[in-house]
Structure formats: C-alpha cells, structure tokens
Structure 1
Amino acid sequence: MDRIATFVINHRRWVILAWIVLAVCGAFGASKATAALSYDFSLPGQSGYETNARIVSEFGSGGDNAPVLLVAQSDDSELNPQTGTQLAEAAGAATPGARISSFATEPALLSKDRHTGVVLVYPRAIGGPDPYAQAMPALTKVAADGSSDSTKVTVTGVDALKSGGGGGGVNVLAETIFGGVGALIVLALVFGSFLAITPLLGAAAAILTTFLILWGLTAVTEVSFIVQYLLALIGLGVAIDYSLLIVTRWREARHNGADNAEAVRESLRTAGHSVLSPGSPSR
C-alpha cells in the first residue's frame, strides 16, 4: 500500500487524468453495455422452456411472449362478425407473420351477450427488453382505425400494459441518481464540508469504469440485465464505504500532525487492511 500511495502522490495529476478518461469512456460504454445485456429468463432443459422453444420454432411466435389483445366493445348492439374479420385482416397486414384468431370465427372469444369480442394476436417477437416494440404501435393504430361511434376497440395484454407504464421498471440511471442524492445529503451532514462530494466522485468513476468492463464482458458471454442494477447500487455503496473510510482516516492523521503525503499513506494503509480483513477493528 505504501508503494501505491507514493505512486499516487507523485503522479496524482496523471492518476486523476486516467480516472477522468476511464469515466468518460465508461459513460460512452454504459449505454452499449446495457443494450447488450440479456433479458432472457429461460431455463434450458426444463419442460416449460423446451415447450416454449418448440412453439416458437414451429409457429414463429408465442412461447414466452404473451399475446396482444384487440378488444372490441359495443354497448348498444351485438357485435357484427364482420367487425372481427376486418380487425383480424388489419392486424395481419400491420404485423406480417403474426398468428391471429378472431371472435368472428372463435365463439370462445365472444362474450355471452355478444357485446364484447377479442382478436388474439401473436406477433413475431424481436430481441431485447421489449419484444413487441415494432408490433405494438402498429396494433395501436389498427385499434384506433377500427373504432367508431358504435364500437370501441382497445389494445391490451401484458406488453400493452407495460408500455403504458403499468409494469415498467425503474431506469438504472434514475435509480443511481436517486441513491446518490440521498447519499450526498447524509454525507453532507457527516462531513459538514465539500469533502462530502469526494465519495460520490469516487463512486461515479468506479461505476462508469465497471460499465466499461461490463461492455467488454458482454462480447464474450451472456450477462443478465439484472447486473446493471447490482453494479450501480452495490458500486455506489462500496465506493462510498471505502471513500468514507479513507477521508476519515486522512482527517485523523492530519489532526494528529501528519503532513498531507503521510496522511494519504496512513488512510490507504487502513483502507487496504480493511479490504483484506473486513471484520477488523480498524474498520
């Protein structure tokens, strides 16, 4: 640790510049890394997975991906079967390759009072977090064009509800910023000075650099999208933890009369000992 501390002190401008460059490259690579993450929850070898894979292989859609529903409702009169046929044809033209079943031909998709009917659409899915990113806007337009004064057509289903905000997750950047702001408030109370920003600067550089490493890792293996949340929040916590330790020990050393260089060495010695022995009293 003394060698590392001496090197950092003697070359601090180059060290700071290196971290800035890594952070900038990490900021560029973060979006690339998150885009390359896997959103697959499959369990190869399990009967459910094998069945879903076979469905997609044979029919080109379905499997793990839920259908999109075009729901036609008429309050004043019974639905005309022609309405179901027209909706099915329009959905087929808007989503080539989709499998479609309409209440015009399937009695089970029509309510008992014949005022509500469903057109079941299985579009071809694309890779990524939103398998129906292309199909959903097209089907939404079909629903809008198919609505009239007497019949209302709406789009629903798991993916439609997600795109409307019903099941969306928290953006990793927003999550990290929220956590960072909360940490800054606590650190400002602890330090009572601008030193409160030091742990967050370390966290930002560490997290962005790790995203850069993650981007390289996605090129050689499949990485789950959950990693981005773990990386951001655990990275924030660990960086703040050890930055707090270093700054606190540096302050103590300065208070005890050590010069700046020796205070840095002492703080790094303590941090290094804590890394090797997390349960040590010095922590």
Structure 2
Amino acid sequence: MPHKTLDYARELLGVGYARITLGAKEATLLATALDECRSFFALPDATKARYASADYNFGYRPLGMEYSITAERPDLNDCFTLWSDRLDLVPNAEELAPLTDALLAWRGHLVTLVSEVVGHVAGIVGQAQAPSFEAASYLQVNNYTHAADDRDLLQDRHEDGHMVTVIHTTAPGLEIWPGEECLPVEMAPDEVVLMPGSVLADLTGGRVGALDHQVRNLGLDRRMSLMYFVNPELTEPLHPWVRTEGEAPADLRDKIRSHPATFGLPHVPVL
C-alpha cells in the first residue's frame, strides 16, 4: 500500500481529491458494513431512537438535527455515528454488535489508509509528521430516503471542516468542486473518495484546499453514504506544517474543536 498511498497524496496535492479502488478484502469489509447499516435503518424510528445519546453526538441521529448551511434547511437524512471505538458512548450498543463490529472492521482499514496518505502529504509539504487522529475521528453513515421535489439538494454545498473525509456512496447524487466547475461523482461498489477539509488546508498552508461538495436530490427511494471523518487529536498543540517566517505558529485546536457547531452539532470531544 505505501506506493499507492503516495500516489493518493499526490492526487490530493494536484487534483484536490483522490479516487481509491479497494482490494477484494477491503471491498468485502465495506459491503458487510453497508449491509448491516441497511438492516439498522430498516428498524422503526422508535427502535432506532434507543441508540441515540442525549446530545445526538453518538449513535443514532434523527433527520432534522444536522444541517450544512442553515438550520432552516436541514440535511435530508438520518444517520448513525461511531466515534473512535467508544461503544460505551452509544446507548444500548450491546444490542448492535453486528453493526458496530462491521463498522469497526471497516474503520481498521481506513486508519491505515489515512495515516499513510496524510503522512505522505505532511512529508511533502513541510517535512512534518501527520498528527494522531483515531481518538478524535468517527464513522458516520447517512441514510437518505425519497425526498420531496421542492428540495433540489439533500445536502447544501459545504466542506466538512475535518482533516480528511473518506466517503463511499451507494447511489448517485454527490457533487464536488475540485475547481471552478461542479463535478458529479459516482462510485463503484469497491471505490471510495478521499476528500480534504479545511483542517488539511490550514495544515498545508493552502497547498491542499478544502473540497466543497453537496448532494443533489435525484428522487431516489434509498441512498446511503458511509464516511470516516478524520480529526487530529486535540491533546497537544497542533501547528501548520508550513510556517511563515517571523510569525508565531498558530495553534489550530480551538478552530477544530468548535467547527461542528457550524452544522448544529456539539464540539469535537476529547476522548
């Protein structure tokens, strides 16, 4: 994988995102996770609500809680989140072992992938090392059902505010802006896309830009997206890899910690 992940790092620096084809083992992990997610979202709403934390940061989050730009236009999906490996933060998680086991197995592959790609970017840009991230990062699966025709977008245009996002979508709708023009993105069952966020933009001094994206309403009955949202751990100061001579390096932690509030969510927790 090291040679391939160097190519992915160069794609981030050159194109603004990276398309990644999975090996057979990793594609099976992804397919298994998606199957378990479908089973979970088929449950009645009252049952799914048993797995929601009081602040909706962990476990199930119903539709209407999260938005991309304004609370008046919520994202048209419900979701399930798993922060790090902290099953203790998800109410009644012991009842969800098939789901959480599958998600954690998929996460195991992603940790290695992200660590190598971001490590290469850090080395290329600033001869630096990538920060630790596992304890501050989380998996989120978004479940979209048929939406009314009066909403052109299921999610408005935004950037995620993380270091990187690894995303797989089960159906069309994702649109990205690697440049001035919008680019629709469809993925094969064995494919993911690595999208940089504003944290990576800050770390690289703008060498990698935050990738704006949105989800178009195509009138589909069912669509899922599975993301790994990667945040640096916040226990130690975090400075840009590119320094401006004569200026004290900024500590990026407060910005990272508070960014979820932009979407109506709690701060990044220190786990």
TM-score (norm 1): 0.24
Q: Which structure carries more strand by proportion?
A: 2
Give the number of the structure whose alpha-carbon radius of gyration is greater: 1
TM-score (norm 2): 0.24
Q: Which structure carries more helix by proportion?
A: 1
